[in-house]
Each structure stands twice: as C-alpha cells, then as structure tokens.
Amino acid sequence: MERRTELVEPSGLSEAEVAVRVQQHGYNELPSSKGRSIFATAWDVVREPMFLLLLACGTIYLLLGDVQEAVMLLGFVFVVLGITLYQERKTERALEALRDLSSPRALVIRGGERKRVAGRDVVPDDLVVLAEGDRVPADAVVLSCNNLSSDESLLTGESVPVRKVAWDGVREMTRPGGEDLPFVFSGTLIVQGQGIAQVRTTGIHTEMGNIGKALQTVQTEGTRLQQEVGRLVRRVAAFGLALCLIVIVLYGISRGNWLQGFLAGITLAMAMLPEEFPVVLTIFLALGAWRLSKMNVLARRVPVIETLGSATVLCVDKTGTLTANRMSVRKLAVDGAVLDVEQQTSQALPEEFHEIVEFGILASQRDPFDPMEKAFHDLGNARLAETEHLHADWTLERGYSLSPELLAMSHVWKSPAGQDYVLATKGAPEAIADLCHLNADRTKIIAEQVAAMALDGLRVLGVAKGVYGQQVLPGEQHDFTFEFLGLVGLADPVRPTVPAAVEECCTAGIRVVMITGDHPTTAKSIARKAGIKPVDEIITGPELDALEEAELRRRVQTVNVFARMVPEQKLRLVNALKANGEVVAMTGDGVNDAPALKAAHIGIAMGGRGTDVAREAASLVLLTDDFASIVQSVRMGRRIFDHLQKAMTYIVAVHVPIAGMSLIPVMFGWPLALLPVHILFLELVIDPACSIVFEGEPEEADIMKRPPRNPNDALFGRRLLGLGLLQGASVLMIVLAVYLSALLGWHDALDATALSFTTLVVANLGLIFANRSWTRTIWSTLRSPNPALWWVFGGTLFFLALVLYVPFLRDLFHFSLLHPSDLAICLGGGVLSVLWFEGLKTFNQKWFAQGAGPASHDEA
C-alpha cells in the first residue's frame, strides 16, 4: 500500500507560551537584515582617510589665512562628501527595497486556531501550516504532509525541488539537501503540496543564521588601491612639508625676511600638498559607481570597482547565475524518436509528440508552483495552443500523490462529453515503467534512454496515460491500467547572455570557475553549455574535504568545475584561490553563497532573486541578474585603473614645475616667481583636469583584450613616476628658461612673472592633451569625444585672458601687460615642453604598450 500522510490539526502553543519563548530565544530575524542608519553611513564615509586628508588640507589653509583656497577646498570636500553619501544611501535604499526574505508572513496554529503572523514572531515549538507558494519562516520538522516538496536552492544550490515526508519522532535534524527528509528550512520555498511543521530553531540558530554567523568571522580586506594611494599621499605630504621648511629657513637666513620666507614656504606647501590624489580617487570611484548604476549594477563598496580590473578568477554559482533558475522541457522521447525542443525551428510540435505533452500537463496542477510542472504548461501553451490537446474544461476528480514507495503521481480527469475517466501520470521513469507493467527488455531500453539524457544534465520523467471505466475509483495507482507514452527531459537552461559573457571573460584573461551544489553530471553539462573550459576534471565536495591545503591549492589551479559543494567548502575554495595569488570575484544569489561572497576580493550578488544575506555580503549587486553585466563591470574597473594612472602621472608632472618655480628663485635669491594666488589659479585648472577630464576619457580599444594586470603591481610604480617626473622636468626647464630670459634680459620682475606663469598654464594644458593617451598622438585623440576637456580648456583660456588684461586682476596677480609677441613666446614654450613626448609616442609605442601604458605590469 502507498503511504499517504493525513494532516492532523493539533492545538499549538498558547499566547503565554509564545511570550515566554520570545523572552528566551528572541525574535526570528537575522542581525544582517537591519539596514544602516544615515548617520552610520555618514560616519563610515567621513572616517575614510581620503576625506580626513581633504578636511585637514582645507583647515590648514584656513588657519594660514588663505580663505579663498580654504573655502574652495572645503567646499569641494563637502560636495564630494554629499555625492558619496547620496550614493551610499541610494544603495542602502535599493537594498531595503529588495528585502523579500527577511521576514516572510507565516500561518501558525496557536490555541487551536490558525492565524497569520509576521515571520519574526515565529518561536520554537510553533506549529506552522505550509502550502504551495509559502516561504518557510524557520527550521522545522514536518509533522504531517501531503505531496510536500520544497525548493532549497537558496541553501544548497540544487535547482530541483526535494520531496518531504512526515517525521518519525526519532530522527535528528540534518543539513538541507536530499529527498524524503522530514525537515524544512528557513527561507526555502514550498512548491508543491501542504503540511504542518513544528519549529525547532529560529533566527540566528537556523541554517540561514549559521551562514550569517560564518559571515561574522570573515574579514573584508581593504583594496590595494586604497592602501597604495594612502601610502603615496603620506609620502608626498611628508616630502612637501620638508621642502616647505627648507624654503622658509633658506629665505629667512639668506635675506633676513622671515615673513616673506614664511609666505614662500606657504606657497610651496600649497603647491605640494597632495589634495589631488584623494580627490582623483574619490571622484573616479564615485563616477564609476554612477556609471555602473546606469548598467543596473549597484556598488555597495565603491573602492572594489577598481579591483574588478585586476580580477583573475571569476567564481560563479550555477543555479540562478549561469542558469535562469527556471525549468524548461529540453527533450521528448517517444517510441525511439527523440525531439530536441530547443533545436526545433518550427513552432508546432510533430504530431507524435503531442500526446506526451498533453498528458504531462494533465498530470500536473492547473496553476502549479513546481518548476517542472510549470515547464510542462509553458511548453503546452507555446506549442499546443491551436490543437485539441489542451483541456481547460475538464474536471479533476481525484489526485494520487507520489510517495517514497512509488515515485509517481496521477490525476483522474472527467471530460464534459466522455463517460470514462481519463488517467494521466508522471514520475520517475522506473516508477512509470512499473505502473505500466513493462517487460524487462522494454524497461532496459528505457533505462538506457534515461542514462543518455541524464548525461546531458537533464532531469528525466516518464509519462503515461490510461482510461478507467468504473464509477468507484480505487485507492491505489497500481489498480489502474496505464500505457507508457515516453520520456521528458527537463533542465534549468543557461541564460542566453552567458556563453558570450564567458567568452569575453576568457578573452580578457579571466578564468571562469563554476561552483555548485548540484550533481557532477549536471554541473559538467551546464559548464560545457556556458562555454567554461576545460570541464574534463571535476572536484566534488567530499573529494575537496579529503584534500590537504597544499594539494587543494595545486588542484584549483587547473580545475574549473566544482560540484556538490556546501557553504563551508565554497569558502575554503575561495580562500585557496586567494592563497595562490588570484584576485577572486565571486558571484551568487543564495544564502549558501554569502560567506564566499564576503571572503572574495569582489563579491557580486544577484539582486532580483538573491537573498538579503547574499546582497549584504557582496560588494556589487546585479539588479537585473544579468551575468553579462559582470563583463561590463570588469571593463569599468580596467577603465578606471587606466585613467587613474594617467591622472596620477599628470598630477606628478604638473607639480614638478610648480614646486621648482617656487623653490629655485628662493635658492638663488631671485624674485618670487609664484605667489599663493598663482597656485590657486593653477589648482582651479589642475583639480577638474585630473578628475573629470581624465575620468571622462573613452576607454582604450584593447581594454578587454589584454590579460588582467598583475595584482602585485603598483598603481604608480617607478616607471610611471619616472614618466611624470620627466614630463614635469621638461616643462620646468622651458618655464625656467622663459623666466630667466625675461628677468636677466630685457624685462623686469613683473614681466618675468607674467611670462613664466602664462607659459606654465599653456604647458599645463599641453600635459592634459599629451596624457589623454600614451599610445596615440594628440592629433589622433582630438577625434575622441570628451566634453569636459573642452570646458576646462576654454575656461582656462578665458580666465587667463581675464587675469592678463583686466587691470584689477592683473595687479592682484602682480603681472605686467603682455604683448602679442610675448604671448607667442609663451605659446611656443608651452608647446615645446610636451612636443618631445609626442615624438616618443610615435617612435617608441612598444615601450608604452609593454612598459608604462595602461596594459603594463608596472613593478612596485
């Protein structure tokens, strides 16, 4: 006899007992589900060393009495702070809108009555009523059930629902995964049947909560970029302050005028204080986050965007990431004929396959939650819509549930015109063969077909039909006579965008590794369809547990598919990859992915289907669950790093002549060439140039055709520092030559100041154009659009004209009136200062492509 568990309605807890358990165990919620307040977000932003440095610079200028510089810098600080705070809060609000699993509603039995309560109010020993479509609110044992199945993919990675049976009163709670277990788990979804379960654990003590506790032991690392820029800023600041003291002492001793010496020292300090470095980093990453948001990628931790550019391994979860998490019918097998549904070009199915789809639908619920039953309906609605094989007007007389003894379910239907009952059954192929009383030869042929379809990663079901002429229906399915119709192969299909995205990752030198809780055969099939190579070797969870750390680190260098993985093993795998020096990006959507998401250098969560735990552990969230967005994110990370290198080189180059023209006149007793007002003017050009101009540059054509940069390479190593110093030195020599010619030749100090300053401004613009690309000449880059460049260029020339020819401003800047011939000298000197670099691009492109350019692996 088949076992059918009848539902029994016990009385449940009383309200007093519920109150006691709330006091003992707390509410049924996870700490990670609480969003940060705006003050906590603001505090995190303000504590960033970059913002603290900007505030310190502005405060120093204010204390020194340079109100204009202080107001400009502090104003810019608060603008950047506002932008970053807005972006962070926008991210938090978006995540709050995605909190669909944090506290599902639950139907409980208390005091003998059924009542609907918030999931957070469920307590241990509560009786929970479960039905199709319900989210399980806590870990529980099934007391009674009827045809109960749940989708546990969020915890296990298994895309196929698992059957549940009633608890025998003895068995202890186990981990999720596997058929015919009497346990249901928090956050999982009931897809079929109904049942009553008694809660065992709630909140942080559930399987979902255990993963949350594992997250607390995983430390999030600061990015190499943050650490490196911090070191760079400290070194430049120390060097600048040392030079400032030297200038003050030299001026005071040599000329006896300590007040002027202090002014000269302040000028040099203003020129050398590295406020541009943190500004550039903050602006580039904030604008990068904004650009990603327009691609439906949410940056939860903005600095990680740049790290994407150096990612060497992308670990992906199968269910819901590579696949659509939606079952579909892939193959139909009838009387030896096999139809590949996906490969069929015609909309209509061949006639011989109509009946198997028809009775597959009849053996399913009318409005199913079960993904496989949905797949039958989807195929029928798409391919049999204009045929007589869909029966919306038939009446379901009775259903026979599957059981551990017979893995098949049957529906008995009555048509409006027919006298006899129509039978439809589906289930495990061996169970259907048993119901149809097939002989050994036929059963063997079917088993061989099933094995072949399983090798293709398909979940295989058998379908049969029958007719029953008596009025009283029997108690068992075995009392009917069935006719075997054939086999149906179902699969969770690979997302259409995945193969191209995986191919682009391979082209970009990024290794794609699939980590799943699914069966090895299914994992290999999905990996092959997604384009992951090679797939010949697979490591399973039990095999991974048996490996020593050294052996695991060796094996992960070549194996790209890992199956039957549990959360702790995913975390261990990510750590092994990191130990090998890989920069690891991890994608996922389930609770089971959360520890690995947090441990990876870049955690990427799926926002649509993913859990709150996964989203909050991740650095990036894909709002549309589009795997291809990862490629765009990597492209953005590489673009940011390219442009950061160019901006940093420009900053070094432009500060060399400024520092030189502030220091050299003091050393040789000449009149001061630069005053604080001159530095302020130059900063008004430098700040937008090194931030919005370089950030807005188009990406290099080969950005996704080069391998990832070496993660040990510095953002600004010796080669790039040498390049910046060389550019700056050439500008300094030209500007100093103009200054000395004017001072020692035919002009006075005012003329020398005006001429050298104008030459410096022109050379500054030349440096911007020269550093737009390190492989293309200025002339070729003019065809690349960059609106911000022309605003900076036009604005600089406009304000330069004002300070040269408006008397009040000319006096404020201590300039004399320049004539057209003077302007020609300045223009020629500025162009000449960067002309050598353009020649170097033309004749030595290989050096830049392999050594100093964006594709370089510059040594620290």
Which position has the token pair 């082209």? Answer: 507
Residue 148, φ and ψ in degrees, nearest 5: -85, 130
Q: Rounded distance, CA 436 to CA 331, Å?
A: 21
What single-letter amino acid sits at 726? L
Element (H, E) at 282: helix 276-293
Q: Is 317 a catalytic residue?
A: yes
User: CB-based contacts of 754: which residues, under 8 Å, 6+ apart?
Assistant: 804, 813, 815, 816, 818, 822
Six-digit token pair at 696? 């807005």
Nearest CA to 31 among 118, 99, 102?
A: 102
Question: Strand order in 395-400's β-sheet?
Answer: 337-340, 328-334, 482-491, 459-468, 421-427, 408-414, 395-400
Any residues with CB less than 8 A from the CB of 121 and at least 6 apart, and which? 18, 22, 27, 28, 106
Q: How far apart are CA 298 and CA 791, in angstroms?
A: 30
Provide the b/e sequence for 623-649 (b: ≥16 CB within 10 Å): bebbbbbbbbbbbbbbbbbbbbbbbbb
Rounded to 10°, the helix 628-668/224-255 angle is 10
- Mind spelling out the 3-state secondary structure of 468-521? ECCCCCCCCHHHCCEEEEEEEEEECCECCCHHHHHHHHHHCCCEEEEECCCCHH
Choose the catalytic residue: 66, 151, 317, 370: 317
Buried b (16+ CB within 10 A) or exposed e, 41-54: bbeebeebebbebb
Contact 775, 849 (CB under 8 A): yes
Sort residue 203 into left (φ over 0), alpha (ψ -120 to 50) or beta: left
Q: Answer yes or no: are the C-beta atoms of 721 and 324 closer than 8 Å.
A: no
CA neighbours within 13 Å on the CB side: how many for 66? 22
In this structure, are strands 482-491 and 511-515 parallel, antiparallel, or unpaired? Answer: unpaired
How many other C-beta atoms lie within 10 A of the C-beta of residue 193?
A: 21
Contact status, residue 630 vs residue 247, Cβ threshold 8 Å: no
Decide if 148 contacts 179 (C-beta within 8 A): no
CA distance 703 to 225: 19
Distance, in Å, from the CA atom of 451 to the CA atom of 460, rounded to the nearest integer, reads 9
Alpha-carbon distance 400 to 5, whole Å?
Answer: 12
Check residue 674 and report its DSSP letter.
-
563-596: burial string, b at 16+ Cβ within 10 Å, e else: bbbbbbbbbbbbbbbbeeebbbbbbbbbbbbbbb
* Tokens (6 digits) for 338: 């096999």
Element (H, E) at 139: strand 139-151
Q: How far apart are CA 496 and CA 741, in angstroms?
A: 68
Task: Give the distance, in angstroms, between the CA of residue 852 and the centroid of all CA atoms in the same chain.
Answer: 29
The answer to whether 362 touches 412, Cβ cutoff 8 Å, is: no
How far apart CA 160 and CA 152 sit, in angstroms, is 8
Catalytically active residues are 317
